[in-house]
Amino acid sequence: MITYVLPTRDRPERLKSTLRAIERLGDHGACGGAEVVIVDNDSRERLVPPAVLVGGVSVRQVCLAQNLGAAARNVGVRESNPASEWIVMLDDDSYPLDLGFVRALREAPADVSAVSADIFLPGSREENTGPRESGGLPEVFIGCGVAIRRGVFLALGGYDASFGYYAEEYDLAARMLLAGYRVCFEPRFRVLHAKVASHRNMNLILSRLVRNNGWVAQRYAPEACRLAEIRETRERYRRIAAKEEALAGFGEGLVALRRTIRGQVRTPMPVGLWDRFTGLACARAALRKAHAQRPFATAAIVDGGKNAWVVGKALGELGVRLTGEGEDAHVTVIGTMSPGPMLDSWARRARWQGPHTARVIAPWNLTAPIAEGRASPAMAA
């Protein structure tokens, strides 16, 4: 059995559309049935949902007296049927495109605690061709499209309520890795995120992003790289804030980070585990494989994004000299470890591939089902 957990606040029509989308998935008999638990974060307008969707999926709503942010998911999991092995975390504007993920969950090895979805955004002619959601890493999921083992979630205490929203997934994923589990990306798990713009305050978002990601670095980074990681976090979100015209929010978040950072309890990861968390271990394995198959001496990093430094470091360890984009290089390597942007870049550059263009390499193969194991070669054209 599975439970869909959906936190919501003041978006009754959007929630209604999401319930209809779950309804369209049809019969859930292959996974032993399903239920939806809606957790209302103190809405002024509340949807009265049906007790049962067409197809037999039951629906329950828990109404909170205050807005708990992402921690509302904790309430949803506690209220879920104990018979559910997996909790499918959604937003009130995200939903699976099909039930292909059910088989993937059945096949997940016991040490896989979370299965990340391939999350698409609206606007494409075909829902499986992008654009995709940004964020996440090889072993860090995105909260609007992930399946988590119920027992693991409860044992680890769920999301840290102090985060509110943003980067709470990174904190939980870190605790999963420290507990000996893995997080895997699954291409058969396809989610559409409508990403409704209402109630999106970019100053608040940037404030939370810089503070919360700073907390994650402070809590889990090995001491040797802790300060560098915090600096990288600060610079990344300063760039994003400038682009989004949200520098005021960034400044507020930076002040909050400085005020609270010493209060974060340190549980530093061993270096090898931190390399998995940042994606460096994955990039190393993939790029070594690509290099062994067809050696290259120079590379241009293109379409840089989340943890682009990981790609540069892995290439440097191979002795590959980096050039600028547009300069002659033996290969071009996609410069992000976030699954969505990397897959979108790969698809776009594969269309441009020709006899006189440089070979394109992605630093992580996202197309292999989780049952085939974690180690995977780079995608290369």
pLDDT at 376: 41
pLDDT at 324: 82
* DSSP letters spanning 167-203: SHHHHHHHHHHHTT-EEEEEEEEEEEE----TT--HH
Give the CATH H-level superfamily of domain 2-193.
Answer: Spore Coat Polysaccharide Biosynthesis Protein SpsA; Chain A (3.90.550.10)
Residues in the chain: 381
Which residues have C-beta within 8 Å of that of residue 126, sequence separation ≥ 6? none
**Contact present, 118 and 132 (Cβ < 8 Å):** yes
pTM: 0.92
Q: How many CB atoms lie within 10 A of CB 350?
A: 12
> 110, 252, 255, 128: which is closest to 184 by C-alpha?
110
- Would you say residue 328 has pLDDT above 60? yes
Residue 375 binned pLDDT confidence (cut-offs 50, 70, 90): very low
Tokens for 304, please give them: 């840089």
pLDDT at 220: 99
| pLDDT tens, residue by residue, 277-305 | 999 999 999 999 999 999 999 999 999 99
Tokens for 306, please give them: 């989340």
pLDDT at 283: 97
What CATH number labels 279-380? 3.40.50
Backbone angles phi, psi at 148, to 5 degrees: -125, 135
CA 268 to mean position of chain CA atoms: 21
Write down the domain spans for the chain: 2-193, 202-272, 279-380
pLDDT at 380: 58
Q: Treating both helix axes as pointing N-terminal to C-terminal, what angle do 223-243 and 202-220 enclose, rounded to 10 degrees?
A: 170
| pLDDT tens, residue by residue, 102-133 | 999 999 999 999 999 999 999 754 554 569 99
pLDDT at 124: 56
Residue position matching structure tokens 């606007």:
123
The H or E element containing residue 323 is: strand 321-323
- What average pLDDT does range 171-182 have in this prediction? 99
CA atoms 251, 255, 261, 264: torsion sign: negative
Give the mean pLDDT of the chain. Answer: 92
| pLDDT tens, residue by residue, 10-52 | 999 999 999 999 999 999 999 999 999 999 999 999 999 999 9
